């Protein structure tokens, strides 16, 4: 089968497309004939050696797929050959086939395309974990979502609205601001404008945002500490901006605010039951028409380096996927 492989820390063009033997499912696993593969920002960080999880060489990046079950381990009863699934593969998905633990795979809900299904598992699980488990977001509160046109931003906007929050989103370009608005944001601000912090305060009657969802870090995090409400929760999702920020602890003290880490992967790895519980909640929201992934860019499997470059260059709106014929 064809797969992309990383033999040393590299940029996207340093990956190699090669042939490897078809893998057999291990204990409790299924093998999936991939139809679509999600491309995430953390895939780029991982091949560069900048992600917290560093697999041994050679490795194949990628963690979200949709496709058809091709083979199952004998102990697996939840799936059979021919089932349509979306799955979290914990690496190794940039190829024609991938393996997934059965508890990390889910039937594709009716109405979702291959591309949409591949775009759902990780970002929506991350945002649910962030907003429900870590922030305890309540109806009527104000949620500020940074990078509102990204995959995680899109999912946070949709879930925040489904939970009854007023949602303010930020994005840098007009197209991305229009997209964030289309996902349900009540207000969308340009984070390039120096007055966005004051605008958040104006929109919240000077209180600030109760919950801030920050996958950017850097200056965005620094400025967010100025517009978080008293007893607010500032969620640390990631550092797409490149700089890991620091905070003056007196700000935490004076505002009675919480700076909350969101490392969904580590939490879920040790709690398989939580993955299923979360998926049940997300499927209910999808059935009610409250959430749905939006795929802005689709590439062929052979174009994986281009897809990763476009994500690095902030050219993607919503989710990006690789398609497999």
Domain with CATH 3.90.180.10 in the chain: 2-120+293-323
Write out the residue limits of the CATH 3.40.50.720 domain(s) in the chain: 123-265
Burial (Cβ within 10 Å: 0-12, 13-18, ≥19) of residue 247: middle
Going through the chain in order, the beta strands assigned E by DSSP cover 2-5, 16-19, 29-39, 64-72, 84-88, 97-101, 105-107, 142-145, 166-171, 187-190, 209-214, 228-236, 258-261, 295-300, 319-323
SS3 165: coil
Is the CB of residue 18 less than 8 Å from the CB of residue 2?
yes
Q: In angstroms, rounded to a whole number, what is the distance separating the alpha carbons of residues 251 and 126?
A: 27
Q: What is the pLDDT of residues 167-207, one digit of tens each?
A: 999 999 999 999 999 999 999 999 999 899 999 999 999 99
Looking at CATH, the fold of the domain delimited by 123-265 is given as: Rossmann fold (3.40.50)
What tens digit of pLDDT does each residue of 257-287 get? 999 999 998 899 889 999 999 999 999 999 9
pLDDT, tens only, 210-267 = 999 999 999 999 999 999 999 999 999 999 888 899 998 988 999 999 999 999 988 9
What is the C-alpha separation between 135 and 210, in angstroms, rounded? 9
Record the pTM. Answer: 0.95
How large is the average pLDDT for residues 155-170?
A: 98
What CATH number belongs to 2-120+293-323? 3.90.180.10
């Amino acid at each position: 089968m064809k797969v992309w492989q990383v033999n040393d820390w590299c940029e996207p063009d340093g990956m190699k497309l090669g042939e490897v033997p078809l893998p057999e499912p291990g204990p409790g696993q299924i093998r999936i004939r991939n139809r679509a593969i999600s491309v995430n920002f953390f895939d780029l960080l991982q091949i560069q050696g900048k992600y917290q999880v560093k697999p041994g060489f050679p490795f194949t990046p990628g963690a979200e797929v949709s496709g058809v079950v091709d083979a199952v381990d004998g102990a697996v009863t939840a799936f059979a050959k021919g089932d349509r699934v979306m799955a979290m593969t914990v690496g190794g998905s940039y190829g024609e086939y991938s393996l997934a633990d059965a508890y990390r795979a889910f039937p594709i809900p009716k109405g979702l395309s291959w591309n949409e299904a591949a775009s759902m598992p990780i970002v929506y699980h991350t945002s649910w974990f962030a907003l429900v488990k870590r922030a305890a977001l309540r109806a009527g509160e104000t949620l500020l979502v940074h990078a509102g046109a990204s995959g995680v931003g899109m999912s946070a906007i949709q879930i925040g609205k489904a939970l009854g929050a007023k949602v303010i989103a930020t994005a840098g370009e007009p197209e991305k601001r229009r997209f964030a608005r289309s996902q349900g944001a009540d207000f969308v601000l340009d984070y390039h404008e120096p007055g966005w912090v004051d605008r958040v305060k104006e929109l919240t009657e000077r209180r600030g945002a109760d919950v801030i969802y920050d996958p950017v870090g850097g200056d965005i995090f620094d400025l967010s500490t100025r517009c978080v409400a008293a007893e607010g929760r500032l969620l640390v999702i990631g550092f797409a901006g490149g700089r890991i920020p620091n905070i003056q602890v007196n700000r935490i003290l004076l505002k009675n605010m919480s700076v909350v880490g969101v490392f969904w992967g580590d939490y879920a790895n040790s709690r398989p039951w939580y993955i299923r519980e979360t998926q049940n909640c997300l499927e209910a929201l999808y059935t009610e028409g409250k959430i749905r992934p939006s795929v802005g860019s689709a590439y062929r499997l052979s174009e994986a380096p281009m897809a990763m470059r476009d994500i690095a260059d902030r050219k993607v709106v919503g989710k990006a996927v690789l398609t497999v014929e």
